[in-house]
Amino acid sequence: MTPALPRWWREPWWARVTLAAILVAFAVLTAWNLARGGDFSFYEASARSMSQSWQALLFGAFDPAATVTLDKLSGFAVPQALSVRLFGMSTSALALPQVIEGLVTVFACALIGLRWRGRAVGLMAAAAAASTPIFVSMFGHPMEDGLLTMSLAVAVLWWQRAVLTKRWWPLLWAGLFIGVGFQAKMMQAWFVMPALLIGTLIAVGGRWPQRVARVGALLGSAVLASLSWMLMMQLVPAASRPFVDGSTDNNVFAMVFGYNGIDRLFPNAIDGAVRSGGGTQTASGAAAAMTKLIDPLYLGQIGWLYPAALFGVGLGVWSLVRTWRGRSRPRPVSPATAMFVVLIVWLVTGAAILSAARMPHTAYLSAIGVQLALLAAFAVDEAVRLRRSPGRAGRLVLPMLTVVQLSWCVVLAVVTGMPRPLWIAMIAVTAGMCALVVASALRIPWRRRLGRTIALAAAVAVLAGPALFAVQVVDAARDGSGGDAYVGVKHDDPRAAVTASFRPSPPQIWGGAPGITPPLLELVAAARAAGGGRDGAPLFLTDSWSIAAPVIDATGDEVLTDGGYSGQAVVFTAAEITAKIRAGVHLIVVRDHAPKGDQVANAVRAASCRTRHTWPSAPAGSHTKSTSSGGGAGGFTLYSCS
């Protein structure tokens, strides 16, 4: 009979209360500025469109009439769309699902740790995940990385259940959640696949055919769940579904595996994918380099636990070497060892790909957050265990860990520009806990009585740095955005001089409206006055998503959009645009300086349309938060065609 799995409701009351406090603290941090942190307007438009139309929801469309998809799979926007449908359009409604996804991720880390090494590791892993700065910012904004991170954490939890119970069906659930992660952020969900396949192979036990069969069950369910929506999309006739953005030939496989996949490593390698522009440098400055993960730009977001995680790797490997030394024949790998191997392989895979690929925004770093949290918890637990060993060397591991962590925190506080009050508090707390741990290794009469106090002090010493750094999200100027989750102020941010001081903002949990610039508001009014949007007709047709997206965000009106996100997707041919003009879509909006191949601009010239109103480009220095998320600061012209 399979023994009952450890569950938190069976743990002592103080452990349950501690876990609840960690979850509440995480929820407070992520929701503090929930109404202020909108998404990139391109994705906000899709969430609103999907909330208004079941067809748009099914196909992951950018616009309410479902004429074009997003430039990536839209699974991440499904919870946002359902939230908007339930609560109405607001910034908080868009971001609320990510807060829930973050809470599930932290709880999953707690449950994995509990079933791996006991309640201490579970609580430490939950606290480490809840204090990881990139998690605190990312889960407070509507971003695709939230659903991805949650899905992979839950997939590992189901895999662990399969290993502990020696049953095969939890592997199907693990594969299903990998597929959910794929719908959220495509091939990044497969970062965990090598680890889980290796872990299944070594941990299942039995004969090789049985092992291979279970590996096949996991792999097959993951691939099927990942490709299910894409296969459905390709089976629907092109005339009955939206055009696939990110592709030039209306092919979802080119969009996923080309534009959003291999092209990130080898630009323009896949035919049919929109050209990525090449080069190894992105707009955010995230170059493909092996030193990327130790760049000061990213260290403050994910790097606080590097020393503890490396200690965990070293202690785990040393423990395995000692366990296997002297054995005359190999023995089955224990579930605990298999979990350690999975975390190592998953971490190495994620770190290697992040280092080699271009990284458009900081939230990509979340791909290694769960592994670092669990390995750091393992390190503290193993070091505490070694403290009780008879050898003197074992007693020195925990002090060494805390001293190295203190030194690392000081370095990160300097290179990340941590605010002085938080910097001082971090040094005071970490140094105090470190001193207590070091004293416990000396020959002092009372050191043996400390027991759990030493373990708690070590945990606080490891987590004080990231926790206090993450507290910056309560300042609305330091909590990042839906376009780039980030805690603190970037050195190259033009607002850095203005936001140099740390000032907590009043909480704003519910509300917030999508940003739209005054010129676009005037455009909406002019289009409606000219008859746009009547009797179910589109408000207008445009050649730029940066014009269409804020209008859809703010009004929910249908705006036909050609070009897709890149401007290269041929959503409508020249003949189709001409046919739409003849059918009554008589209002056309064209951006300034449209390229020669702009079919909308060419159709306007061919139809001899007259100019109704022109909005010039915004003057230099008028950059605002709304325009930075796609507010349409560029100039454009409204034409009337008959």
Predicted local confidence at residue 31, as pLDDT = 95
* Helix and strand counts by DSSP (H, E) for the chain: 24, 5
Tens digits of per-residue pLDDT, 428-448?
998 888 888 887 766 555 555
Would residue 7 count as lying in a domain?
no
Contacts made by residues 203-208, CB under 8 angstroms, sequence distance 24+: 203/163, 203/332, 203/333, 203/334, 203/335, 203/337, 203/338, 204/163, 204/166, 205/166, 205/332
Concatenating the DSSP letter of every residue in 222-286 gives HHHHHHHHHHHHHHS-GGGS-B-TTBSSS-HHIIIIIITTGGGTSTT-STTBPP---SS--TT--
Would residue 584 count as lying in a domain?
yes
Predicted local confidence at residue 636, as pLDDT = 93
Would residue 312 count as lying in a domain?
no
| pTM greater than the 0.85 cutoff | yes
CA 73 – CA 385 distance, rounded (Å) = 45
Q: Three-class SS of residue 135?
A: helix
Burial 464-487 (b: 16+ CB within 10 A, else e): bbbbbbbbbbbbbbbbbbbbbbbb
- Which residues are bridge partners to 555 per DSSP? none
Residues of the chain with pLDDT under 50: 278-286, 497-498, 621-632
Here the tokens at position 88 are 């109405």
- The alpha-carbon radius of gyration of the chain (Å, integer) is 27
**On the CB side of 432, how many CA atoms lie within 13 Å of its CA?**
11
Nearest Cα residue to 74 out of 259, 244, 317? 244
Would residue 620 count as lying in a domain?
yes
Q: Three-class SS of residue 136?
A: helix
Would residue 213 count as lying in a domain?
no
Would residue 528 count as lying in a domain?
yes
Please tell me the total count of domains within the chain.
1
Nearest Cα residue to 295 out of 403, 412, 214, 404? 412
Would residue 508 count as lying in a domain?
no
Would residue 630 count as lying in a domain?
yes
Predicted local confidence at residue 498, as pLDDT = 46
- Which residues are bridge partners to 561 per DSSP? 542
Nearest Cα residue to 642 out of 613, 611, 608? 608
**Strands 636-640 and 610-615, sheet pairing:** antiparallel
Predicted local confidence at residue 350, as pLDDT = 94
Concatenating the DSSP letter of every residue in 457-487 gives HHHHHHHHHHHHHHGGGGSTTSS--SSS--S
Burial of 396 from C-beta contacts in 10 A (0-12 / 13-18 / 19+):
middle
Range of the domain at 528: 518-640
3-state secondary structure 361-413: CHHHHHHHHHHHHHHHHHHHHHHHHHHCCCCHHHHHHHHHHHHHHHHHHHHHH
